[in-house]
Structure 1
């Protein structure tokens, strides 16, 4: 939150412009280029802060699984990251379950129930709609359902 406050983006936390897409793409490029161990940031939910060099991708890694809501946006700042990936899978699921989990996570980490619901409605849901529209660009779509993982396409 410190950087988002500095940038005046705290109210948009989680939106595409609040991520270091160029840094992400650079780290992926280094991994693909076979550089020695590549250290990447993690995120510490308890303090709501990224942590530099929290994770390491060892040089011996043959498969790297990464996540990101905006990998398929097509915007130039995200296209560089997408270019470093062999495949991008889109994970979908029950919307009611997603919303309940999202509100619960916000409550778990300090927001009141009403504040959490408002944050989800005003900030998180517009981001989710944006992400949902990128699904057709995915290489594979899978659904996390009560029956397990299902291949959608």
Structure 2
């Protein structure tokens, strides 16, 4: 569980902590980075994976986003969920859990994972490779700590879980900027950030207490954190 009063923890200390999670050759561990849309979790997860590789002097870490497990738009249309894309039931949770288990178990051959391609607004299969030499996979996503099945199987697979906490006002600002950059009008971007991302965010924020660390997402690459 997280502490009630977060203490300052610089990014270098976070990177060093992640480096300490890298197991011996022949083994593999998962570090989960969770948070609401617009929290900065993607920036942090990418930065941590890169920092671990820099400190290790070799590619021992890889970044793996959950977004590749969005259901296809045609499937969302068939299910009547397209207008809620990003909600927990618009992802293939079982497929994501199965992939995490495979990554932990399959260490002699590459494991390929889908990525979400924003230019087509769809997942693209086989876009991410987890090479055999990778020993730490930094897994990033909204629902890593959600209590619903099958997401509740994920925490037991993680060596640690970090939750990026960012005030709602800042998250909405970032989301409006993101959605307008990807083609929505400012009005539509604000509506989506509040009515879709906002609803999802309330569910996600409630899971922060299950994390090992709570990280301040208002600073570049998460420069302060709550220590467990």
- TM bin, normalised by shorter chain, reads over 0.9
Aligned residues: 153
Q: Gaps (5+ residues) in structure 1?
A: none
Cα RMSD, aligned residues only:
1.5
Change (3 A) 1:106 1:32: same
Q: Distance in 1 between matches of 2:131 and 2:219?
A: 34
Q: Which runs of 5+ in 2 are unaligned?
A: 1-72
> 1:119 maps to which residue?
192
- Deviations for 1:11-44, whole angstroms, at most 9, x for unmatched residues? 1110000111111111110111134211101010
By how many angstroms is 1:85 displaced? 1.5
Q: Shift of residue 67 of structure 1?
A: 0.7
Match of 1:12 in 2: 84
1-side partners of 2:78 and 2:160: how far apart? 34
SS in structure 2 opposite 1:76? coil
Aligned 1:58-77 pairs, distance under 5 A: 58-77=131-150
- Secondary structure of the 1:66 match is strand
**Any conservation in 2 of the 1:22–1:81 contact (CA below 8 Å)?**
no
Q: Give the SS at the match of 2:139.
A: coil
User: What TM-score, normalized to structure 1?
Assistant: 0.92
CA deviation profile, 1:38-93 (whole Å, cap 9, x unmatched): 11010101111111111011121111001111111111210223322111110112
Runs of 4+ displaced beyond 4 Å: none
TM-score using structure 2 length: 0.63
User: Which of 129, 147, 151 is residue 202 of structure 2 equivalent to?
Assistant: 129
User: Which residue of structure 1 lines up, in the alignment, with residue 154 of structure 2?
Assistant: 81
TM superposition shift of 1:10: 0.3
1:40–1:53 CA contact under 8 A, matched in 2? yes
